[in-house]
Structure 1
Amino acid sequence: MSECHTSRRRFLQAASAVPAAFVLGFHLPLAKAADAPAHDPDDINAWLRIDADGSVTIMVPSAELGQGVMTSAPMLIAEELECDWKQVRAELAPTDPVYNNRMFKVQATASSTSARWSFEPLRRIGATAREMLREAAAQGWKVPVAECRAVQGVVRHEASGRTLGYGALAARAAALPRPASVALKDPRDWKLLGRPTDRLDIPLKTRGAAVFGVDVKVPRMLVGSVMACPAFGGKLHRVEARPALAVRGVRRVVPLDDAVVVLADSYWTARKGLAALRPDWKLPQGEPVGDAALMAGYREAARSASALALRNGDPDAHMQAGQAYTAEYEVPYLAHATMEPMNATADVRADRAEIWGPTQVCGEIAHRLAPVLGLPAERIVVHSTFVGGGFGRREEFDVFLQAALASKAAGQPVKLIWSREEDIQHDFYRPAAAARFSAVLAPGAAGIRALDARLACSSIYIRNFPDRVKGGVDPKSVEGVVDLPYALPNVAVRHAMVNTAVPVGFWRGVGYTQNTFFAESFIDELAHHARTDPLQFRLRLLAERPRQADLLRRLAQQAGWGGAPAGRFQGVALSQAWGSLCATVVELSVRDKRITLHRIVNAIDCGTVINPATVERQLEGASIWGLSAALSGVITIGDGRVQQSNFHDYPLLRLAQTPRFEAVLVQSGERIGGVGESAVPTLAPALANALFAATGERIRSLPLARHGFELA
């Protein structure tokens, strides 16, 4: 598993023995070489390798979470490179600043940014390599470069018909200076981008060749399991290690600040040893938090929210002058429940450390571990693996800290694997939230004259990015309302930040998941109050937003809005997030509170579609994720701890319950937007709005199971 990186100069020297190759150059992992290159993110040597046989290996800078970036990123380079896609291979890039996400300025995969930040830079990398190959051919033939054309992995001299493959040109091209600027192809000339393309990572996964975090093996490695204090804020007081050490194969018990780790020859042995322990926990003082009190606090805070996040026009005056319609909503805490268990592998020694694991933030791990391990960050090497589901959970560092501390204590490598119970009960949860929406309709119910939205939830940013919380407002807590897709003349959005002992974090869709449910449910209520079709009501609000209106119309056409078969009912929702527009129609029928989902139709305008096949699958996956949460997702708190523990009481959608999906992909030509999270926010409100159409029961809180609904 250990990767061996070398400096550019050393690699160039080695390249003389294998002349026909572009080369890759990185710094030495444990001590910077004197000849290590400066970090130049536009150096093609860091991004691709062309071998003598013409095969092209492209580095992927983002974590592969299942979202298909291991295909979409190479597509960007390959399109401009004009190589033969059948000869393209993809590799996960090492942890190095050259691969930083240019929106975050750190190597991280989050907020549906992988395509957004890399869309132009990676195309420039491909175009630069293409031009260097053309120049190399032109010099060899002693002809003007304008007469040389790159196509399908060869350079052709049009006048003479001579051709040279990229493999034969690579060594000469690698010695040329990089052109200062290159022209990118007109989208009308694209041959690869915008076409359905099979994912490069799927064969690796289907034959078991893809290495996930739980697959990592290191010589002399012990396997660990962990038990954390079950109560929020609790600490480990003491633990008697002998019962665990009496289990055959258990090698060590490592006490941590708020947890205990058992190290053994195998995972199940470690679990057996852990079960033998009876740790003495030091619980936090005061009344333990409970779900009922927490939710009551959020509801009260929403009613009195005062920190102003947005004000347009004079909403207060219009609210006082008109007849206001008011509704209150709430949603619970949610867990991530990633398919691959939380895990990390660490080899910590006196002078260095090496880390392996599934992460969305490989560029930050060394800096987080450095003060804990007493090592400089440059002495900590981080190797990313394939990720079996991220959803924001892999942006945290807890499992890496535990693995590193356990390895340091044991003096040998440790792979730490969390149980599902540990995962469910010690997550960084999607915040529970409450909201109070009020509005005054325009004369003749032609639209909304004024809207007042008050939101209450815990802050995600306050823990890791406190500088982003300004004026008592966490931007993540109000997204989805401060940026409504509709043009409203008078709007006020206020926030109440209610931080509790329950840890919260980024969850697929973040604030949009709760706030779009609130806002789009309320828009639907206003349409009903105005005695107007919900779709037509939204289109009135979009009279000045043609792009949003166009998406809704295309969705309505695909879904057959207003023409559902007898006994079926439809609900709609719209959002704009991560630079994209997404709208959803849910079509269902209900009998005795048993829901049959007949169709889910998603429409997305992400500006430019790189791989339509991937976009469709992401819409489906996001919808399934949103359905699980809307139908049954809930984390409850009792006696200061999470009450759920596994999939028997935190169920996910099953295959037999999954409906038919349809997708509308709009190529608007606007700036590229994100895809992976887009259908999560719209699913719950579209589902709740369809249920209202079917039953007349307005759903203002989730999950639906709490209202007696279940899937047929």
Structure 2
Amino acid sequence: MLQFRFDTRDLKPTRRDFLLGSAATAAGLVVGYRLMMAAPAMAQETAGEAAANPFQAYVEITPENRILIHSSQFEMGQGSYFGIATLVMEELDGDWGQVDVVGASGNTKLYGNLAWGGAFQGTGGSTSMTSSWERYRKAGAAARGMLVAAAARKWDVPAGEITVKSGVLSHGSDKLATFGELAADATAIPVPTDVQLKQREQWTQIGSDQLKRYDSAGKTNGTQGYTIDVKLDGLLTAVMIHPPKFGATVGSFDAGKAKALKGVADVVQTPRGVAVVADNMWTALKARDLVTVIWDESKAESRGSTDLLAEYNRLADGPGAATARNDGDAAAALASAAKVVEARYEFPYLAHASIEPLNAAARINADGTVEVWGGHQMPDVYQMAAAQVAGTTPDKVRLHVLKSGGSFGRRAVADADLVVEAVAVAKALGPGKPVKVQWTRENDMRGGRYRPAYVHAMKAGLDKDGKLVALYDHIVGQSIMGGSPMEAMVKDGVDPTSVEGAANLPYAIPNVKVELTTTKVGIPVLWWRSVGSTHTAYAVETFIDELAAAAGRDPVEFRLSLLDAHPRHAAVLRLAAEKADWGKPLPQGRFRGVALHESFFTYVAEVVEITMKGDNDFSVDRVVCAVDCGTPINPDQIRAQMEGGIGFGLGAILQEELTLTGGVVDQENYDTYTPLRIDQMPKVEVHIVPSTEPPTGVGEPGVPPIGPAVANALRAATGQTVRKLPILKNLSV
């Protein structure tokens, strides 16, 4: 496996048009604007020009009167481009008809994710708005100020008398000019070092319920391009043959019959398998079936999921290998408790299963530079990976950051698997021959990266008055961080992604112990939408419901009694309960469940209504969601992400499961791995908590509460908690 350090290099931009920017320093976010005739492309500087200031490249005003916003964050459907554009447009006062947003990369000082300390560029953890909140507003405000100053100088009028509205500057003397007409003049204006942002009461874009996504038309009429749509002169298509077992390698292969097929360009070995290259996808697929590969499985993982979960359960019976939280004395409190409740949970592997199968295109040019087109969720890492494979330096690599038809974490891979394959094939083909590596759905399902399988062994103690006095949770599963460039985040044997949502649960319990046993398994795992909270929220929130029942208390009231120190948790819980008419009678056969969870600093409570239709048969009919994500930037988009997260999480807990037999994945496509179908989607109501706090993310936090809310509704209906997922496979009434 290729290993990469996060020592990204600054790549020097070409000179062009009118750009602005800011950067982070050790002291925090500092705006150090300087006017640049530059773009964030990763090419060599023009000979003889001064070195480019690294503090640049967020907003570009073109002479053609376009507003081109260079996004540090990757767009995969979650609306980050829309959110960033809203921040700029609030301060710039441009016209939305002028706006385009493109992916930027190649300069960590410019595009490093500030929520991650600015150390490297990447999109994940629902951090896009957190990272963008100040710097993109300041970029918009600085651009506006420079345009106003340019107009004042050109018209010989005071700047304070100039108004800006919908991309037009005007003065009472009947003088008018568009942004594009003033762009050249603005290049002579010093970039302001201290820009003033609008006060909240002046906002017209941020928080507007009327503002809709600027890019919706292209996504619905088929004009939006994705990596799968990339077209280049002479573009070849490669399909992959991967080993059936993880960890196996190519022993030898025979491609004689495949190469004899008309339209086949080559068959080459890659770090992980064999690539069949042809003029088009159909020919490549036909040729692929003619290749014979002998695999070396001496180091392959050969255990099945049943074997692994049996081992996990055995480990869960013993003490944890590491401690993630240890408040008070949980063992003593459990020993003296008036009532002890125990529960064991099992969670399967899950696939990301995004609608666009994985892909990337690459070309090595005659001058030795490398270009890669793709859904680059971690650009710095991919740039280094491409350079390493091509045998060059990162400054010779240009990434074309394209929109992706979903990711859910799958395109943020520390070893850059897709990029490595694309560049390796391009290198084998030789300079000037572009190639697109296109995985099939089966490649993705059977040879991808997965949400790890987990087991939770839990105990809790109640005193004689029904007060929760102790909670113990032993979590068993694989580490996502371990063995990756982010392994430094594993402290004292604890991967934070394994225990998040459990080690930081908000409930006031005097004695809490959370232990972790990390397993060594050869199945590749990766963050999956909302990461550790995908299993910890289910275990914690269904267990809390059982404890409320054991104490003879209402589930909402019981939770609220434990949340005095967490008012934002309590507020969303109260709001969801109020909007769902919690406590009011339901028609016969209909039941409610509730769950509360914080992930990525966003607080979400969900109340579910289900209808029991018979033994082991029910429907999820209504979901009432309350969300506190700080300052709401795009309310319509927040609602859309909550709705999408609820549907995503609902499919996972109801029916999704990835299993292995003898080390080989059993599922291949959407017929055997079954995300939520449209007729299963419930009515969803989203209520956004007004807030003046800084914005947090919404791409993931809607996912965790839906599972336990459904399970708690089922417990209300049947008296039983489903503790082994997926629910539809393991529900037995």
- The interval holding the TM-score normalised by the smaller chain is over 0.9
Is the counterpart of residue 25 in structure 1 residue 38 in structure 2?
A: yes
1:551-562 matches, cutoff 5 A = 551-562=572-583
Does the C-alpha gap of structure 1 residues 167 and 258 become closer, same or farther in structure 2, counting only changes over 3 Å? closer
Deviations 1:602-649 (A, max 9, x none): 111001111111111111111111111111111111111211111111
Q: Specify which of 283, 292, 298 is matched with residue 278 of structure 1.
A: 292
* DSSP-derived class of the 1:607 partner: coil
Aligned residue for 2:679? Answer: 656
Q: Specify which of 35, 59, 81 is matched with residue 70 of structure 1.
A: 81
| Residue type of the alignment partner of 2:677 | R
Is the counterpart of residue 329 in structure 1 residue 351 in structure 2?
A: no
1:32 offset after TM fit, Å? 4.2
Q: Distance in 1 between matches of 2:161 and 2:469?
A: 63
Aligned residue for 1:225? Answer: 239
Deviations 1:682-708 (A, max 9, x none): 111111111111111211111012224
- Contact kept, 8 Å, 1:25 with 1:37, in 2: the verdict is no
Q: Distance in 2 between matches of 1:138 and 1:201?
A: 34
* DSSP-derived class of the 1:103 partner: helix
Aligned residue for 2:659? Answer: 636
Q: Unpaired runs of 5+ in structure 1?
A: 14-21
* DSSP-derived class of the 2:515 partner: strand
Q: Distance in 2 between matches of 1:518 and 1:552?
A: 18
* DSSP-derived class of the 1:462 partner: coil
Aligned residue for 2:323? Answer: 308
1:24 offset after TM fit, Å? 5.6
* DSSP-derived class of the 2:254 partner: coil
Q: Distance in 2 between matches of 1:129 and 1:488?
A: 51
Aligned residue for 2:495? Answer: 474
* DSSP-derived class of the 2:693 partner: coil
Aligned residue for 2:194? Answer: 181
Aligned residue for 1:121? Answer: 135
Does the C-alpha gap of structure 1 residues 110 and 28 become closer, same or farther in structure 2, counting only changes over 3 Å? closer
RMSD: 2.3
Q: Specify which of 371, 384, 393 is matched with residue 410 of structure 2.
A: 393
1:287 offset after TM fit, Å? 8.0
Does the C-alpha gap of structure 1 residues 149 and 328 become closer, same or farther in structure 2, counting only changes over 3 Å? same
Deviations 1:505-535 (A, max 9, x none): 1111110101111111111111111111111
Q: Distance in 1 between matches of 2:716 and 2:233?
A: 61
| Residue type of the alignment partner of 1:198 | K
Q: Specify which of 425, 434, 437 is matched with residue 413 of structure 1.
A: 434
- Contact kept, 8 Å, 1:95 with 1:383, in 2: the verdict is no
Aligned residue for 1:581? Answer: 603
Aligned residue for 2:8? Answer: none
Aligned residue for 1:244? Answer: 258
Q: Unpaired runs of 5+ in structure 2?
A: 1-10, 20-34
TM-score by length of 1: 0.93
| Residue type of the alignment partner of 1:510 | V
- Contact kept, 8 Å, 2:72 with 2:112, in 1: the verdict is yes
Q: Distance in 1 between matches of 2:579 and 2:377?
A: 35
Does the C-alpha gap of structure 1 residues 287 and 209 become closer, same or farther in structure 2, counting only changes over 3 Å? closer
Q: Distance in 1 between matches of 2:361 and 2:680?
A: 36
| Residue type of the alignment partner of 1:338 | S
Aligned residue for 1:100? Answer: 112
1:110-149 matches, cutoff 5 A = 110-149=124-163
- Contact kept, 8 Å, 1:59 with 1:74, in 2: the verdict is no
Is the counterpart of residue 171 in structure 1 residue 173 in structure 2?
A: no
How many pairs does the alignment contain?
Answer: 693
| Residue type of the alignment partner of 1:186 | Q
Q: Distance in 1 between matches of 2:450 and 2:456?
A: 18
1:89 offset after TM fit, Å? 3.1
- Contact kept, 8 Å, 1:27 with 1:37, in 2: the verdict is no
| Residue type of the alignment partner of 2:596 | L
* DSSP-derived class of the 1:220 partner: coil
- Contact kept, 8 Å, 2:40 with 2:104, in 1: the verdict is no
- Contact kept, 8 Å, 2:246 with 2:300, in 1: the verdict is no
1:71 offset after TM fit, Å? 1.3
Aligned residue for 1:19? Answer: none
1:486-497 matches, cutoff 5 A = 486-497=507-518
| Residue type of the alignment partner of 1:87 | Q
Does the C-alpha gap of structure 1 residues 399 and 51 become closer, same or farther in structure 2, counting only changes over 3 Å? closer
* DSSP-derived class of the 1:461 partner: coil
Is the counterpart of residue 567 in structure 1 residue 593 in structure 2?
A: no
Task: Determine what percentage of the aligned residue pairs are the same residue.
Answer: 38
Larger CA deviation: 288-297 vs 472-481: 288-297
Q: Specify which of 600, 615, 622 is matched with residue 599 of structure 1.
A: 622
1:592 offset after TM fit, Å? 2.2
1:9 offset after TM fit, Å? 4.8
Does the C-alpha gap of structure 1 residues 171 and 296 become closer, same or farther in structure 2, counting only changes over 3 Å? same
Aligned residue for 1:673? Answer: 696
Q: Specify which of 473, 482, 503 is matched with residue 462 of structure 1.
A: 482
Does the C-alpha gap of structure 1 residues 596 and 28 become closer, same or farther in structure 2, counting only changes over 3 Å? closer
Q: Distance in 2 between matches of 1:468 and 1:7?
A: 32
- Contact kept, 8 Å, 1:302 with 1:495, in 2: the verdict is no
Q: Distance in 1 between matches of 2:300 and 2:12?
A: 55
Q: Specify which of 514, 527, 537 is matched with residue 506 of structure 1.
A: 527
- Contact kept, 8 Å, 1:95 with 1:384, in 2: the verdict is no
Deviations 1:344-383 (A, max 9, x none): 1111257221111122112321101222221111111111
Q: Distance in 2 between matches of 1:29 and 1:331?
A: 43
Q: Specify which of 462, 472, 496 is matched with residue 452 of structure 1.
A: 472
1:10 offset after TM fit, Å? 5.8
| Residue type of the alignment partner of 2:129 | A
* DSSP-derived class of the 1:547 partner: helix
Does the C-alpha gap of structure 1 residues 39 and 449 become closer, same or farther in structure 2, counting only changes over 3 Å? farther
Does the C-alpha gap of structure 1 residues 24 and 602 become closer, same or farther in structure 2, counting only changes over 3 Å? farther
Aligned residue for 2:358? Answer: 342
- Contact kept, 8 Å, 2:13 with 2:42, in 1: the verdict is no
- Contact kept, 8 Å, 2:321 with 2:518, in 1: the verdict is no
1:178 offset after TM fit, Å? 1.4
Larger CA deviation: 52-61 vs 597-606: 52-61
Q: Distance in 1 between matches of 2:300 and 2:134?
A: 54
Aligned residue for 1:16? Answer: none
Does the C-alpha gap of structure 1 residues 37 and 612 become closer, same or farther in structure 2, counting only changes over 3 Å? farther
Does the C-alpha gap of structure 1 residues 700 and 39 become closer, same or farther in structure 2, counting only changes over 3 Å? farther
- Contact kept, 8 Å, 2:63 with 2:184, in 1: the verdict is no
- Contact kept, 8 Å, 1:23 with 1:48, in 2: the verdict is no
Q: Distance in 2 between matches of 1:92 and 1:287?
A: 38
| Residue type of the alignment partner of 1:331 | F
1:693-708 matches, cutoff 5 A = 693-708=716-731
TM-score by length of 2: 0.90
Does the C-alpha gap of structure 1 residues 36 and 617 become closer, same or farther in structure 2, counting only changes over 3 Å? farther
Q: Distance in 1 between matches of 2:394 and 2:479?
A: 29
1:133 offset after TM fit, Å? 2.5
Higher helix share: 1
Is the counterpart of residue 360 in structure 1 residue 377 in structure 2?
A: yes
Larger CA deviation: 162-171 vs 205-214: 162-171
| Residue type of the alignment partner of 2:593 | G
Is the counterpart of residue 320 in structure 1 residue 335 in structure 2?
A: yes
Is the counterpart of residue 536 in structure 1 residue 551 in structure 2?
A: no
Q: Distance in 2 between matches of 1:576 and 1:663?
A: 16
Aligned residue for 1:85? Answer: 96
| Residue type of the alignment partner of 2:200 | P
Does the C-alpha gap of structure 1 residues 664 and 320 become closer, same or farther in structure 2, counting only changes over 3 Å? same
- Contact kept, 8 Å, 1:392 with 1:506, in 2: the verdict is yes
Does the C-alpha gap of structure 1 residues 587 and 107 become closer, same or farther in structure 2, counting only changes over 3 Å? same
